[in-house]
């Protein structure tokens, strides 16, 4: 077995692990990242594309924001389509001047990978049998296998950035962990295409046929979603069937402007609300999907992961530079306060926009009445805008 020594062992080379690693490097703190799959597989995962300001700021702090600012699309509003009519939510106006940016998670991940590789920082891909050890002590370590060889990383801290199915949360003592979960009775069928977006801003659709979302990755690449039953299989959906169903859920303007084309990728994602409490177990910390999952309706998953990374990075820097464990001790509380607010918004927005099989007729009436209130109320528009762009980091303190 080969043994190496680092200050922080990061399990998982998704955006949260890579962002944490880059921030630590900028602060002069050593970190090694291990990842179960290949770098190409990581980049092949199609995920979120809406960045809040906290995520944008962290990319800048990590020194990898140049391409994001060149190619990202700043959005100051979203459109809500219900009852056959569109209504615009002016995010900038009702959130005190804030916007969001459209920049695909794949591109963000690529920027972080390239930066890490350019300075020769260690990321080990395609490892197996990863395990975390002694994280309840001052000398935790990580073991893994690579090319038939056993490896060990001695460290001061373990960052569990390895996702919902990762080893870190699964290794926490069952008596010390609480998990909260809600599984929704539908999924999102997503299609990516090299076609111009149907609209300059995102359109969230509440339709009698089910929810739809018209999103984008650039001015020439679009991402569309349809609410579908969990029993549906992606192979059952041809491109033509997808486009036809999307048209049925759009308004006349949307149908007229929609440009269709062959799909680059199609997939069905289930929807889930999930939170782990606490987020810290001794010297091991959960971040991103390892600790929480949100329905994609509110565009919070990547942004919550970025907030976790910020709190963890600040705590680790404080530990090494100020010899203080205050940030470490407070990590879980700070994360969970923000997580539950975002979980609430994502749950509420999902309930508001989707069709549910139980009590469908009366629920649809409730939804339309609430949407009508929200779109014609300063308080309602402010509620959507403030939550959508992301509540301040110091909210509620």
Report, as an integer, the average pLDDT of 59-80.
96
Say whether pLDDT at 18 is over 90.
yes
Amino acid 301: pLDDT: 92
326 pLDDT higher than 80: yes
- Residue pair 12/163 in contact (Cβ under 8 Å)? The answer is yes
pLDDT at position 1 is 86
- State yes or no: pLDDT of 57 exceeds 70: yes
Q: Which residues lie closer than 8 Å to 12 by C-beta, 6 or more apart?
A: 33, 34, 35, 160, 161, 162, 163, 166, 168, 288, 290
Residues 251-279: what's their mean pLDDT?
Answer: 96
- CA–CA separation, 123 and 115 (whole Å): 12
For residue 99, what pLDDT is reported?
A: 95
Element (H, E) at 264: strand 263-277
Question: Which tokens sit at 99?
Answer: 């916007």
Range 214-222 average pLDDT? 93
SS3 (DSSP) at 124: strand
pLDDT score of 39 more than 90: no
pLDDT tens across 20-30, in order? 999 999 999 99
- C-beta neighbour count of 281 within 10 angstroms: 23
Task: Write down all domains in the chain, each with its CATH number in brackets.
Answer: 2-53+103-180+273-356 (3.50.50.60)
Q: How far apart are CA 341 and CA 85, in angstroms?
A: 29
- Residue 271's pLDDT band, with cuts at 50, 70 and 90, is very high
Cβ contact 75:388 at 8 Å:
no
Residue 396 has pLDDT above 80, yes or no: no
Average pLDDT over residues 148-154: 96
- Contact between 206 and 82 under an 8 Å Cβ cutoff? The reply is yes
307-335 mean pLDDT: 97
Active site residues: 75, 204, 296, 300, 388
The yes-or-no verdict on residue 74 having pLDDT over 90 is: yes
C-alpha–C-alpha distance, residues 212 and 205, integer Å: 5
Does the structure show a pLDDT above 80 at 4? Answer: yes
Residue 67 banded pLDDT, cuts 50, 70, 90 = very high
Strands 157-160 and 284-286: parallel
pTM: 0.93
Pick the range with the lowest mean pLDDT from 23-37, 297-311, 357-371.
Answer: 357-371
Place of tokens 């084309």: 261
Share of the chain above pLDDT 70, in %: 99
Task: Classify 254 as helix, strand or coil.
Answer: helix
CA distance 131 to 253: 54
Q: How confident is the model at residue 360 (pLDDT cuts 50, 70, 90)?
A: confident
Q: For residue 46, what pLDDT band results from cuts at 50, 70 and 90?
A: low
How high is the pLDDT of residue 176?
A: 94
What is the pLDDT of the chain when averaged over all its residues? 95
- Does 78 have pLDDT greater than 70? yes
Distance CA 216, CA 258 (A): 13
Length of the chain: 397
Whether the Cβ atoms of residue 33 and residue 73 lie closer than 8 Å to each other: no
Residue ranges of E strands in 137-232: 141-146, 149-154, 157-160, 178-193, 203-206, 212-216, 222-229
pLDDT for 91 beyond 70: yes
Pairwise CA distance, residues 59 & 55, whole Å? 6
| Residue 65 β-bridge partners | none
Average pLDDT, integer, range 117-121 = 93
pLDDT above 80: residue 270: yes
């Amino acid at each position: 077995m080969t043994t190496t020594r680092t200050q922080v062992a990061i399990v998982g080379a998704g955006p949260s692990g890579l962002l944490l690693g880059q921030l630590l490097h900028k602060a002069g703190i050593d970190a090694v990242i291990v990842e179960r799959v290949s770098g190409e597989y990581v980049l092949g995962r199609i995920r979120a594309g809406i960045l809040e300001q906290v995520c944008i700021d962290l990319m800048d702090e990590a020194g990898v924001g140049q391409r994001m600012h060149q190619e990202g699309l700043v959005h100051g509003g979203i459109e809500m389509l219900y009852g056959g009519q569109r209504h615009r939510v002016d995010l900038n106006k009702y959130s005190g001047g804030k916007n969001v940016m459209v920049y695909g998670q794949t591109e963000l991940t690529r920027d972080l990978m390239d930066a890490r590789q350019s300075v020769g920082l260690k990321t080990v891909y395609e490892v197996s049998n990863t395990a975390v050890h002694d994280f309840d002590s001052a000398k935790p370590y990580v073991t893994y296998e690579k090319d038939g060889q056993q490896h060990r990383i001695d460290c001061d801290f373990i960052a569990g950035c390895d996702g919902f199915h990762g080893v870190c949360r699964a290794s926490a003592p069952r008596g010390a962990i609480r998990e909260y979960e809600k599984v929704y009775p539908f999924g999102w069928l997503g299609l990516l295409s090299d076609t111009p977006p149907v609209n300059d801003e995102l359109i969230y659709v509440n339709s009698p046929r089910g929810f739809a979302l018209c999103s984008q990755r650039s001015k020439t690449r679009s991402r569309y979603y349809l609410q579908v039953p969990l029993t549906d299989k992606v192979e059952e959906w041809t491109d033509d069937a997808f486009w036809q169903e999307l048209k049925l859920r759009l308004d006349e303007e949307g149908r007229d402007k929609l440009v269709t084309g062959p799909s680059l990728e199609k997939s069905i994602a289930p929807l889930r609300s999930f939170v782990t409490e606490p987020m810290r177990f001794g010297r091991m910390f959960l971040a991103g999907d390892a600790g929480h999952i949100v329905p994609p309706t509110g565009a919070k998953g990547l942004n919550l992961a970025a907030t976790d990374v910020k709190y963890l990075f600040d705590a680790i820097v404080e530990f090494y530079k100020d010899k203080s464990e205050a940030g470490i001790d407070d990590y879980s509380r700070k994360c969970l306060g923000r997580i539950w607010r975002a979980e609430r918004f994502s749950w509420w927005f999902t309930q508001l926009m989707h069709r549910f099989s139980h009590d469908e007729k009366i629920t649809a009436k409730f939804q339309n009445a609430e949407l009508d209130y929200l779109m014609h109320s300063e308080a309602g528009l402010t509620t959507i805008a403030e939550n959508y762009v992301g509540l301040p980091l110091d909210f509620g303190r």
